A and B are shown apart, each in its own frame.
Chain A
Amino acid sequence: MEYKDYYNILGIERSAQKGDIKRAYRKLARKYHPDVSKEDNAEAKFKEVNEAYEVLKDQEKRDAYDLLGENGQYGQYSSEGFQPPPNWQDNVDFSSGGYTDSNKHDFSSFFADLFGHSHAGASPSSGQTYNSKGDNIRAKVSIDLEDSINNTTRSFTLQMPEMDASGQVTNQQRTLKVKIPKGIKAGQTIRLAKQGSAGIGDAPAGDLLLEIAFNEHQIYKVDGSDIYLNLPVTPWELALGAKIKIPTPTGKVGITIPANSQQGRKLRLKGRGLPSKQAGDFYVVLQVSIPPSTDPKAKMLYEQMQKELDYNPRSYLF
């Protein structure tokens, strides 16, 4: 396992008081909370911060951790990485249990190896039958817009808690192939029954809940079930109207730009958004693209318009 510097993770001194630890934790928890933060790696950071706080807020666990020395100097390093010093287990005692109110699935193998054992002691004594449905696990995954439209199968690699023979829970990497339900929107959730944490006794496993986000698309934007395309058009297509072909996620479509359109006009293709019982719409937003006046012919035509057209777009300002 890899040594974790919990003081460094919380950005505090080894001599920090309880109040300092709590303040540092609260600040970082707000910063990296996966439901709040948009920072890269927010979820991993948040778990790390939680794990550090789980140890340092509890005097018994903190004392045990401190016995490893600064940067784990009293520990042993082998091909398997960091190990606590010999007889370390004999000198520590966590009466409050290895895991308290935090989610045990989120902790590293470093934590599980050092503090996880007392969790096993918290399970019911032998001879008793005890059944409890496994926890639901939430995870965020990103898919492409086309996955939602085409009902494709995607692979996701997730860190999932697994319990070993000794009852210790550690995170294991698991790759799942998931059929994406047609028409799923960003912010919605795929529920995979019984793919969460294992149940205790005869009780069923919990569910895996995959929260969906869309990867940014090169040409489309998605808002709920509606899809938007910013479509560059020439000034004469806007002014005179035109029939043009546009891309949509399900193939090319012909549309008519009405004459006398203005920049930013939205054209709606009903029902061509994300598919569902109430299918979304596809919006084409007209964006005028002006030919550069570096072209002599264009320049000549602009000069002609300047001379011959009586048009002032700023008249309403005065």
Chain B
Amino acid sequence: MATQVILTGYILEDSPKLSLIELCEHCHTQKKAMIKLVDHGIISPCKGQTVSQWRFESHSLMRANKALQLKHDLGINFAGIALALELMDEIDSLRIALQCNNSALQKAS
């Protein structure tokens, strides 16, 4: 039985901004693929005019990871990934709205 150390992490999305290189290192991918994700609007730099100046909010890391995973697992091209992720976001927000409405209806009935 392993000793039970309490692990303390931090919220990835609240961590400092990442450069393109750092983002690539975290995602184990090449710059070329990451630039494609930016070109398709899947992730966007929060500042920087040129590629070397780009800085990304750290939530881009999860987004990029998810996109690359979908590309690898399902063989979808970048345009398809962009569409799939947008639709998935919409489904998530509709699901939350539906949950709020459903419980209101249940309480009312």
Contact = CB atoms under 8 A, between A and B. Distances in A.
Nearest to A184: B11
Contacts of A175: 2, 4
The interface centre, meaning the residue of A36, A174, A222 with most chain B CB atoms within 10 A of its CB, is A36
Given A35-B66, A153-B6, A190 B104 contact: no
Nearest to A216: B99
A242 interface: no
Contacts of B16: none
A178 B65 contact: no
A178 B96 contact: no
B99 A221 contact: yes
Categorize the interface residue count of chain B: 20 to 34
A209 interface: yes
B74 A26 contact: yes
Contacts of B26: 136
Interface in B6-21: 6-13, 15
Q: Which secondary structure dominates where chain B touches chain A?
A: helix
A176 B11 CA distance: 17
A29 B8 contact: no
Contacts of A188: 11-13, 59
B28 interface: yes
Chain A interface: which size bin?
A: 35 or more
A191 B10 contact: yes
A261 interface: no
A155 B15 CA distance: 24
B7 A230 contact: no
Given A135-B28, A136-B26, A289-B107, A181 B9 contact: yes
* Residue of B15, B26, B92, B103 most packed against chain A (CB within 10 A): B103
Contact of A189 (B5, B8, B11, B69): B11
B4 A177 contact: yes
B21 to A, nearest CB: 14
15 contacts: A29-B74, A30-B74, A33-B74, A136-B28, A177-B5, A177-B7, A179-B8, A188-B12, A189-B62, A191-B12, A192-B7, A195-B7, A221-B103, A223-B96, A230-B104
Interface of A: 26, 29-30, 33, 35-36, 46, 50, 101, 135-136, 138, 153, 155, 174-179, 181, 183-184, 187-193, 195, 208-211, 216, 221-223, 228, 230, 232, 264, 285, 287-289
Interface of B: 2, 4-13, 15, 26, 28, 59, 62, 65-66, 69-70, 72-75, 84, 88, 92, 96, 99-100, 103-104, 107-108
Given A26-B75, A179-B7, A179-B9, 9 more contacts: A33-B74, A136-B26, A175-B2, A179-B6, A189-B12, A189-B62, A190-B10, A191-B9, A191-B11
